[in-house]
């Protein structure tokens, strides 16, 4: 395909440098952009020349101009913003990056804000604002639990709820609580660690401790929810793929007046006994279409950890698809073999009768 060029001129070199990074970093940013779009960048002062696939020029120009406008407002630029911007505009060419990056869920101590970093995260945040029950479903590292905790803290700060309840099923990779040393609280703590981590990232340690002592924040195993009615609370059920159908129904029927509930999980990482059916998959199937219930789905492209994690998730997904195709092929072959055996038996019987 013929390579073409397009020249863009920006009127603020400092803002352009914020978008592309310092000279050493700009080479890496340009290389990532070329891998994603097939368009290379050549920068001289305030002039940027695009070269490569002309069909991708419009996307790259929209990206650079929107990022440039954000930089001129004083917004801090992250090295990953360019890659995230490409993903967002590839999914929705009319998307406004400002509406994604500047949608602040909560501002932490020191002025650092927590905002969506992908289109899927933006839709997830909007769903949590609108709906009483939200399911966040997808691979690890997509921000499902982190953003849910941020939204919970925000609603608590805004006095929209009186308490936060964070729970998980105490099932992990085949381990059993009875084999862990210590008191019940000490046994449960490792299972709750990801939820504690989110809380301590939003609030300073002494405040988290004080709120937990006052019962404003509760972190507990799912079993502790039985028999309760949860009013005026923000409830997060994490690792929901490890719930049974009965446990999921139990939690969802605890929802009281003024309560918001977020259920997060990754169906591909189920640690239940093989005989148990996942309550998450069942809930997604039976609750579809109910008003005020929303499902936000994440893909490997939404993984916010090291880029290697995206590749790992995709590799496992590809392996799962291939194994499913092989199983389907074996079933089809077995069905065909059974049909042929039946046909042969019928022919033999007919010959014997004649």
Of the candidates 81, 97, 77, which has an alpha carbon nearest to the alpha carbon of residue 89? 97
Identify the pLDDT of residue 257: 94
Which pLDDT does position 231 carry in this prediction? 95
Residue from 189, 254, 255 nearest 219 by CA: 189
Per-residue pLDDT of the chain (354 residues; tens, 9 = 90+): 557 899 999 999 889 888 888 777 778 888 888 888 899 998 888 999 999 988 899 999 999 999 999 888 877 777 677 878 888 888 888 888 888 877 889 987 666 788 888 889 999 999 999 999 999 999 888 899 999 999 999 999 999 999 999 998 876 544 455 555 555 556 666 667 778 888 888 888 899 989 999 999 998 888 888 888 899 999 999 999 999 899 999 999 999 999 999 999 998 888 776 667 889 999 999 998 898 899 999 988 777 755 566 577 678 878 878 888 888 888 888 888 887 776 665 555 555 544
Residue 135 backbone phi and psi in degrees, to 5: -105, 125
In 3-state terms, what secondary structure has residue 116? coil
End-to-end CA distance of the chain: 70
C-alpha span between 81 and 102 (Å, rounded): 12
- Residue 83 near residue 310 (C-beta atoms within 8 A): no
Beta-strand runs (E) in the chain:
4-9, 39-44, 47-52, 106-107, 113-114, 133-137, 163-168, 217-221, 233-237, 260-265, 293-297
Instruction: Tell me if residue 244 falls in helix, strand or coil.
Output: strand
- Output the DSSP codes for 89-102: HHH-TT--HHHHHT
Strand partners, 261: 133, 235
User: Could you give the CA distance from residue 208 to residue 200 in angstroms, rounded to a whole number?
Assistant: 7
Is 144 exposed, middle or buried, given 0-12, 13-18 or 19+ CB atoms closer than 10 A? buried
Q: Cβ–Cβ contacts within 10 Å for residue 203, how many?
A: 21
What pLDDT is attached to residue 178?
53
Q: What is the pLDDT of residue 133?
A: 97
Distance CA 107, CA 142 (A): 20
CA dihedral in degrees (13, 31, 27, 53; nearest 10)?
-50
Predicted TM-score (pTM) above 0.75: no
């Amino acid at each position: 395909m013929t390579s073409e060029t397009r020249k863009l001129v920006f009127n603020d070199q400092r803002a352009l440098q914020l978008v592309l990074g310092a000279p050493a970093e700009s080479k890496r940013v340009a290389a990532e952009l070329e891998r994603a779009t097939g368009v290379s960048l050549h920068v001289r002062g305030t002039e940027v020349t695009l070269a490569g696939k002309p069909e991708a020029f419009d996307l790259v120009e929209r990206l650079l101009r929107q990022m440039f406008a954000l930089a001129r407002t004083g917004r801090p630029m992250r090295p990953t913003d360019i890659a995230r911007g490409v993903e967002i505009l590839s999914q929705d060419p009319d998307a406004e990056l400002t509406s994604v990056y500047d949608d602040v869920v909560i501002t932490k101590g020191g002025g650092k804000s927590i905002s969506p970093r992908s289109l899927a995260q933006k839709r997830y945040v909007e769903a949590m604002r609108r709906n009483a029950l939200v399911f966040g479903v997808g691979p690890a590292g997509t921000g499902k639990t982190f953003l849910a905790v941020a939204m919970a803290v925000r609603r608590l700060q805004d006095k929209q709820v009186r308490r936060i309840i964070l729970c998980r099923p105490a099932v992990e990779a085949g381990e059993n609580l009875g084999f862990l040393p210590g008191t019940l609280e000490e046994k449960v703590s490792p299972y709750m660690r990801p939820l504690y981590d989110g809380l301590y990232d939003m609030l300073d340690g002494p405040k988290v401790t004080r709120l937990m002592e006052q019962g404003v924040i509760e972190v507990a195993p799912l079993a502790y929810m039985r028999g309760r009615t949860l009013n005026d609370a923000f409830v997060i059920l994490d690792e929901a793929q490890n719930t049974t159908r009965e446990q999921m129904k139990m939690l969802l029927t605890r929802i009281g007046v003024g309560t918001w509930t977020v259920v997060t999980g990754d169906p591909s990482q189920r640690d239940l006994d093989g005989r148990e059916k996942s309550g998450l998959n069942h809930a997604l199937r039976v609750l579809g279409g109910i008003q005020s219930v929303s499902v936000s789905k994440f893909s490997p492209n939404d993984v916010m950890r090291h880029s290697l994690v995206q590749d790992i998730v995709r590799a496992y997904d590809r392996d799962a698809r291939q194994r499913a195709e092989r199983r389907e092929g074996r079933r089809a072959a077995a069905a065909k073999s059974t049909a042929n055996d039946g046909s042969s038996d019928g022919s033999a019987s007919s010959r014997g009768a004649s």
